[in-house]
Amino acid sequence: MKKENIVVLTPEGYLELEAELNDLKLNKRPEVINSLKYARSLGDLSENADYDAARNEQAQLEARIKELEYKLEHCEIIDNKDKGIANVGSTIVVEYEPGDEEEYKLVGSLEADPFNNKISNESPIGKAVIGHRAGEKVQVESPNGSYEVLLKTVS
């Protein structure tokens, strides 16, 4: 299996995807099937907007189910056993300058949510801090240039 096909997830991220997949299969799919049955019962399918909408919804639903199944089958769950070393699943505090700190949760790219301080292991800061311990200064290579940060805490 090629490395680029691997989806990196935290245990929480895996559970979220699994819950979404189960919801789509157990709840949403039956709803869409009922919508299709109802739309078919209305008669002429060639000019039936309800039927077209239900078919489109079914196609989107099945595509999302396939996508989730693929990701769950091709994932690597990173459960950071060594809490002292930054890795996917770690919560870190980075000091840019004295007094300018930010807390992040390191996650796989699929779970990244910068607005909630969840940064990807593939982001410039994520790449730089992985494998380092609290107290270490690390060099961050970003599109805007290189800069140094202090990894204050890792948990």
pLDDT tier at 2, thresholds 50, 70, 90: very low
Average pLDDT value over all residues in the chain: 90
Model confidence at 38, in pLDDT bands (50, 70, 90)? confident
CATH of region 3-77, choose from 1.10.287.180, 1.10.10.10, 3.40.50.720, 1.25.40.10: 1.10.287.180
> Which of 6-10, 80-84, 129-133 shows the lowest mean pLDDT across its residues?
80-84
pLDDT at residue 9 is higher than 60: yes
Q: What's residue 3's pLDDT?
A: 52
What is the pLDDT confidence band of residue 4, given thresholds at 50, 70 and 90? low
- Domain pair 3-77 / 91-154, same fold: no
For the chain, give every domain's residue range. Answer: 3-77, 91-154
SS (H, E, C) the chain: CCHHHCEEECHHHHHHHHHHHHHHHHHHHHHHHHHHHHHHHCCCCCCCHHHHHHHHHHHHHHHHHHHHHHHHHCEEECCCCCCCECCCCCEEEEEEECCEEEEEEEECCCCCEHHHCEEECCCHHHHHHCCCECCCEEEEEECCEEEEEEEEEEC
Percent of the chain with pLDDT over 90: 71
Per-residue pLDDT of 69-86, as tens digits, reads: 999 999 999 877 777 899
